[in-house]
Amino acid sequence: MLKEGQIRIPSGCAISGVIDLEGGGVCGEEMIRSISVMHDRSNGLGGGFAGYGIYPQYKNLYAFHVFYEDQSAREECEKFLDRHFDIVNLSKIPTRKHPRITDAPLLWRYFLTPLATKLSHSQLDEREYVVRCVTRVNTRMKGAHIFSSGKNMGVFKAVGFPEDVGEFFRLEEYEGYAWTAHGRYPTNTPGWWGGAHPFALLDYSVVHNGEISSYDANRRFIEMFGYKCSLLTDTEVITYVIDYLVRREGLSLLEAANVMAAPFWTTIAQQEPERRERLTFLRQAYSSLLMTGPFSILVGFEGGLMALNDRLKLRSMVIGERGSRVCIASEECAIRAISPELDRIWSPKGGEAAIFRCKEEAQCQ
Amino acid sequence: MKIDAHHMDYLLLNQAVRRQTDSEVEIDHCLGQRFIGTGLANKTLVINGVPGNALGAYLDGGRIIVRGNAQDATGDTMNDGEIIIHGSSGDATGYSMRGGLILVKGNAGYRAGIHMKSYGEKSPVLVVGGAAGSFLGEYQAGGLILVLGIGCEDRAPYGYFCGTGMHGGRIVVRSDHIPENLPDQVAASDLTPGELEQIMPHIHRYCETFGIDPQSLLPHRFYVLTPNAKNPYQRLYAMN
C-alpha cells in the first residue's frame, strides 16, 4: 500500500480520556464505550488507545509494542533489541479475530531494560538511550515500527473504528489508572496502522483532533535535535515536541503548553508583570515550536493526563469531573456515556492546559 | 409521543422525529445524536439527555427544549422558532443564525453568535444567562446577542477578542466591566433607557422560562457593543 509521502488525502477526529486521581482501576472497556459514542467523528481509517498503569507486574521495565510487516523484520529487530536490551519477557500482543479489523501486521510486545554495559558505554542517560534505540528501529529498519515504548503503559492502535480496535486488542482485559482514546479521520495521510493515534515516545502519548498548520516549521526545528518525523503526520511532531520540551529542556508541562499554544502578544501584554515576563521568554525562546491551526490534544504521561486546545480554540473539548474520576472528551456525550452524573462539567479556554495528576501514593501502588 | 433514543443512530432518530404526526415529541436517553430537529418547522421537541452537534440546524419554526446541556453549533443557520437550553451550550452557539430565538440558561462556549445576521423582518436573538467564551459575536452582521452575566458579576462575562470582525448587530451585556482590549472596530456605550426598554421583553422571557426573579437581575448597568463606525476595517486580520 501507499504510505505517507506517496499519497495525499485531502479531507475531524474524536478524542476521549479518563483518569482516576486516586489511582483506581479503569477498565479498557469503559474507554471503548466512551469513544464509540463519537463514532461519526471518525471514518474507520484509524483508532487507538493508550493505557497507563496496565502492566503493574512489569512496572520497572520498558514495554515495547511493535508492528512487523513480516518475520524477517521481526528477526532483524529482535537481534537489535537483544544487542541493546535485556529482554525479560516477550510475547505476541493478545488479539481476537475481528470482522472489521483486517490486514494486521505481526504484533509483538517486549518487556525489557537497557543492557547495563551498553548503556554505560553510550554515556547517555537511560531514557535518551531508549529514545535513540526506538528512533533507530523506526527510521532504519524496514518493516519494523516500535509504536509504544514507555514503562507501565501501552499503546494499542490499528486501522478501523476505535470501538472495533478496542475489541480486537481485548482491552476489556486491561485495567489502568488513566486512558486516552482516539477515533481517526485522516486529513493528509493515508490510514495505516503506524499512522493511527496515539503517538508515543517513552511514557508520553498524544491523541489529537485537528490539523497543525505549522507542522513543517515545527518539524524542521525538532529534527535538529535528533528526532525523525518519519510518519509525516502532525501528531507525531507534537509527541516529539513534548518529549523535547519536558524531558530534555526540563520545562513543566504547563510551560510546554505555553510554548505550543502561546498566547497572542496582545494577550501577553495584559498579564501581570511576572507572568508576562515568563510568557514572553517562552514565546521568544521557542518561537519555532508555536503550533498554529486547530487542535485539541490529550497528552498521557506517567501519573497523569493533560488536555490542551489551540489558542483560538478551534476544536471542542469538554471536561467532566465526578469524585476522583476526570473524563475529557471532544463531546459531552462521550463523558456522559461512562459517567451519567457529574459534579462539574466545564471547557478549558483556548491555550489553557488542564493537567490532572494521580496522587503520588496512588501511583506507587 | 416519546422516542427512546438509546443506542439509536442519528439518522434513524431524525427520521423517527420527522415521521411523528404529534405536534409534541419527547426524546429520552439522547446521547450525542447530531442534527436533531434539522429544518423542523412546526413541532415542539423536548430532549432529555445530551443532544449532539448542530442541534436545530436550519430550524424553521416550532420549539426545541433541552433539559440539560447542548453541544456545539446549536441553531446553526436557524431561520425561525426557538431553542431553549436548560443548561449550558457548547462552542459556536447560534452559528450563522438568521432568525428565531435561542435561550441558554447557563454559559455558552467560544464563538457564540458567530456570523449572526439580519435582513428585513428577520432578526435573530441569542440570550446567554451566564458567561460566553472568547470571540463572542465574531463576524456578527446583525441581530441581538444578550449576555446576562449571572454568576460572574466581578468581571466582563466573556473572553478575549469579543466582536472581532463585527460589522452589524448588537451585543448587549449586563455587567459593570468593559475590557480594555476590545477590538478597535468595536465601540461600547451604556444602554439608554429607551434601548433597555427594547430588550426588556427578552429579559422577562429568560426569567419566566428558567424561573428566575427579574428583581435579582435589575436594576443593573447594561452596555451595548456595536461596530465602530468611526474606525472602519482597514486590515481584515490582526497582526498575529
Which residues, other chains included, contact A162 with Cβ-Cβ below 8 Å and sequence gap of 6+?
Answer: A14, A32, A35, A36, A42, A47, A48, A49, A181, A182, A183, A184
Give residue A362's pLDDT band: very low, low, confident or very high (50, 70, 90): low
Kindly report, residue by residue over A208-239, the tens digit of the pLDDT.
999 899 999 999 999 999 999 888 788 999 99
Residue A191 makes CB contacts below 8 A (sequence gap 6+) with A44, A45, A46, A159, A184
If you average pLDDT over residues B47-69, what whole number do you get? 97
Whole-number pLDDT of residue B232: 74
Measuring CA to CA, how many Å separate A295 from each of A211, A330, A350?
6, 11, 10
List the one residue out of B105, B63, B60, B104 whose CA is nearest residue B82: B63
All residues of chain A having their beta carbon less than 8 Å from the beta carbon of residue B53 are: 331
Amino acid identity, position B65: I
CB interface of A with B, residues 231-250, below 8 Å: none
Instruction: Write the pLDDT tens digit of every residue in A60-90.
Output: 999 999 999 999 999 999 999 999 999 999 9
Nearest-CA neighbor of B188 among B176, B197, B198, B199?
A: B176
Residue A348's pLDDT is 96
Can you read off the three cell numbers belonging to residue B13? 432518530
Would you call A287 an interface residue with chain B, using a CB distance cutoff of 8 Å? no
- φ and ψ at residue A131, rounded to 5 degrees: -60, -45
Distance from CA of A265 to the nearest CA of B (A): 8
Q: Does domain B2-227 have CATH number 2.160.20.60?
A: yes
Mean pLDDT over each residue of chain A, to the nearest integer? 93
Q: Which of A41-45, A170-174, B122-126, B185-189 has the lowest mean pLDDT?
A: A41-45
Among A37, A266, A345, select the one facing B32 at the smallest CB separation.
Answer: A37
Residue of B nearest to A313 (CA): B110
* pLDDT one-digit tens code per residue, A131-162: 999 999 999 999 999 999 999 999 999 999 99
pLDDT at res. B129: 98
- Sequence-distant (6+) residues with CB within 8 A of B47 are B26, B27, B30, B36, B55, B64, B65, B66, B67, B68
CB A210 within 8 A of CB A295: yes
A336 vs B52: CB contact, 8 Å cut-off?
A: no
Least confident of A226-235, A284-293, A347-356: A226-235
- Examine the pLDDT at A364 and tell me if it is beyond 60: no
What are the DSSP E strand ranges found in chain A? 14-20, 26-27, 47-52, 62-68, 85-92, 106-114, 144-148, 153-158, 175-176, 178-183, 199-201, 204-210, 295-301, 304-309, 318-322, 325-329, 344-346, 354-357
Residue B170 predicted with pLDDT over 50: yes
Decide: B37 and B63 in contact? Cβ < 8 Å. no
Mean pLDDT of A21-25: 94
Question: In Å, what is the CA distance from A6 to each residue of A1, A188, A266?
Answer: 9, 11, 41
Confidence of residue A4 (pLDDT cuts 50, 70, 90): low
Average pLDDT value over all residues in chain B: 95
Nearest CA to B99 out of B47, B29, B46, B169 is that of B169
Query: What average pLDDT does this structure show over A263-271?
Result: 93
Look at residue A233 in the predicted model and tell me its pLDDT: 82
Note the ipTM here. Answer: 0.92
Q: Work out the pLDDT band at A186, boundaries 50, 70, 90.
A: confident
Residue A46 gets the label, from left (phi > 0), alpha (psi -120 to 50) or beta, of left
Q: What is the pLDDT of residues B208-217, one digit of tens each?
A: 999 999 999 9
SS (H, E, C) A221-246: HHHHHCCCCCCCCHHHHHHHHHHHHH
Instruction: Provide the CA B61 distance to its chain's centre, in angstroms.
Output: 16
Would the CB atoms of A40 and B91 count as touching at under 8 Å?
no
Rounded Cα distance between A22 and A42, Å, is 32
Look at residue B206 and give its three-state secondary structure: helix
Q: Which residue in chain B is spatially nearest to A338 when comparing CA positions?
A: B31
Over pLDDT 70: what percentage of chain B? 97
The single residue listed with the C-alpha cell 511514557 is: A203
Chain A hits for B88, Cβ within 8 Å: 345
Q: Looking at the complex, does the CB of residue A326 fall below 8 Å from at least one CB of chain B? A: no
B33 closest CA partner among A341, A336, A17: A336
Active site residues of A: 13
Measured in angstroms, the CA of B196 and the nearest CA of chain A are apart by 31
pLDDT, greater one: B229 or A105 = A105
Chain B residues near residue A312 by CB distance under 8 angstroms? 135
In this prediction, residue A361 has a pLDDT band, given cuts at 50, 70 and 90, of low
Which of A265, A313, A332 has its CB closest to that of B71?
A332
For the segment A190-213, what is each residue's pLDDT rounded down to a tens digit? 667 988 999 999 999 999 999 899
pLDDT-derived band at B235, boundaries 50, 70, 90: low
How many Cβ atoms from other residues are within 10 Å of residue B80's Cβ? 16
C-alpha to C-alpha distance for A62 and B161, rounded to whole angstroms:
46
3-class DSSP state of A205: strand
> A14 near A331, Cβ under 8 Å?
yes
Separation between Cα atoms, residue B48 and residue B68, nearest integer Å: 7
pLDDT beyond 50 at A365: no
Do A228 and A244 touch, CB atoms closer than 8 A?
A: no
Residue B145 has pLDDT above 60, yes or no: yes
Q: How far is B108 from chain A (nearest CA, A)?
A: 10
Domains of chain A from N-terminus onward? 14-354 (3.60.20.10)
Average pLDDT value for residue range A292-306: 96
Residue of B nearest to A265 (CA): B240
- Percent of chain A exceeding pLDDT 90 equals 86
Residue A37 CA to residue A46 CA, distance in Å, equals 16
Shortest distance, CA B87 to any CA of chain A (angstroms): 11
Question: Which residues of chain A have a CB within 8 Å of the CB of B159?
Answer: 349
For residue A190, cis peptide bond before it (omega within 30 degrees of 0): no
- The answer to whether the beta carbons of residues A206 and A196 sit under 8 Å apart is no
Q: Provide mean pLDDT across the span A296-321.
A: 96
In degrees to the nearest 10, what's the CA dihedral of B78, B80, B83, B88? 40
pLDDT > 70: what percent of chain A? 94
Residue of chain A nearest B179, judged by CA positions: A270
Tell me which chain A residues have a C-beta less than 8 angstroms from the C-beta of B182.
Answer: none
Average pLDDT over residues B186-198: 96
Distance from the A268 Cα atom to the nearest Cα atom in chain B, whole angstroms: 12
Asked if the model's pLDDT at residue A29 lies above 80, the reply is yes
Q: Which residues of B touch A337 (CB under 8 A)?
A: 31-32
Size of interface A-B (CB pairs under 8 A): 57
Residue A178 DSSP SS3: strand
Whole-model pTM?
0.93
The pLDDT of residue A45 is: 87
Q: What are A21's three cell numbers? A: 486521581
Position A331 pLDDT exceeds 50: yes
User: What pLDDT score was predicted for residue A77?
Assistant: 98
A10 has a pLDDT exceeding 50: no
